Amino acid sequence: MPEKFKGKVALVTGGSSGIGKATALAFAAEGAKVVLAARREREGARVVEQIVGAGGKAHFVRTDVSIEADVDAMVRQTVSRFGRLDYAFNNAGVGGGGGPIHEAESADWDRIIDINLKGVWLCMKYEIAYMKEQGFGAIVNNSSTAGLAGYAGNAIYAASKFGVNGLTMSAAVEYADQGIRINAVCPGWTMTPMVGEADAAESERESQALDETPQKRFAAPEEIAEAALWLCSDAASFVTGVALPVDGGLLAQ
């Protein structure tokens, strides 16, 4: 099979499950050496075993993306282990904090913004610093359709993802002439562990969202991974600063 990322190195945060795991496996299947970063060591180690068992190369780094020292160490270990950093998929994120704004808790704001927004900023800060020296790199940030349209009942999450898109577009312009492309992928409803563990109220909202999605189904994590890999690939060499919906037509209507 073709290996369009052979000899390259990809870093995936939140790589222990869901979209992150699917993307790590997809990079490895295309020949990349993969570094997975996540907080859950056991799950991350299993993904590494799966990649290595299939003949690939992978390494796990325990990382909390909201902690600057962890992110710095993550990038340093990636370069130390494999000698370079070509692609980064900044995927780590959390949900929660749902409900009307006037009932929201400050703790929810701090937790969601720290991981979803500050975490992406920290990852880009250290990834770009290395990619500048290398003169090449492609970064994809995992955002959401909630970062492209209002999301009643989950404003904190939406604010974090609007922020991710703003960071993505600003950084793309800032580094476009330095060989670094930066884009975001914006999934619609995707069948991840976060969705599977939803409570009854959340499940009712998900049922409504499914009805509103023109393709009448959830995305598989692998479908989001394919979009992320395309944005990293040479096929997207003139694409930067894009927040790409992968949503089954949700935003189109």
- Look at residue 48 in the predicted model and tell me its pLDDT: 97
- Give dist(CA 192, CA 55) in Å, integer: 26
**Tokens 């993969």, residue located:** 34
182 within 8 A of 172, measured Cβ to Cβ? yes
- Is 3 contained in some domain? no
Angstrom distance (rounded) from CA 110 to CA 84: 33
Separation in Å, CA 150 to CA 8, 28, 146, 147, 205? 38, 35, 6, 8, 15
- The answer to whether 157 is a known catalytic residue is yes
Coil, strand or helix at 247: coil
Sheet holding 87-90, edge to edge: 58-62, 33-38, 9-13, 87-90, 137-142, 180-187, 243-246
**Annotated catalytic residue, options 87, 126, 157, 175:** 157
Place of tokens 């990809």: 10
C-alpha count within 13 angstroms, C-beta hemisphere, residue 67: 10
Per-residue pLDDT of the chain (253 residues; tens, 9 = 90+): 468 999 999 999 999 999 999 999 999 999 999 999 999 999 999 999 999 999 999 999 999 999 999 999 999 999 999 999 999 999 999 998 888 999 999 999 999 999 999 999 999 999 999 999 999 999 999 999 999 999 889 999 999 999 999 999 999 999 999 999 999 999 999 998 755 555 555 566 677 778 889 999 999 999 999 999 999 999 999 999 999 999 999 999 8
Residue 34 in any domain: the answer is yes
* Residue 8 backbone phi and psi in degrees, to 5: -100, 165
pLDDT for res 206? 72
| Domain membership flag for residue 1 | no
Q: Using CA atoms, how far apart are residues 28 and 89, in angstroms rounded to an integer?
A: 13
Half-sphere exposure of residue 199: CA atoms within 13 angstroms, side-chain side: 4
Neighbours of 98 (CB within 10 A): 18
CATH number at residue 71: 3.40.50.720
Q: Is residue 251 part of a domain?
A: no
In a domain, 2, yes or no: no
Render pLDDT for 172-210 as a digit per residue (tens, 0 to 9): 999 999 999 999 999 999 998 755 555 555 566 677 778
Asked if the structure places residue 197 within a domain, the reply is yes
Domains contained in the chain, number:
1
* DSSP helix/strand/coil, 3: coil
- Whether residue 253 is contained in a domain is answered as no
Q: How far is CA 152 from CA 80, 83, 99, 102, in A?
A: 44, 45, 8, 12
Q: What is the pLDDT at residue 209?
A: 76
Q: For residue 67, give its domain range.
A: 9-246
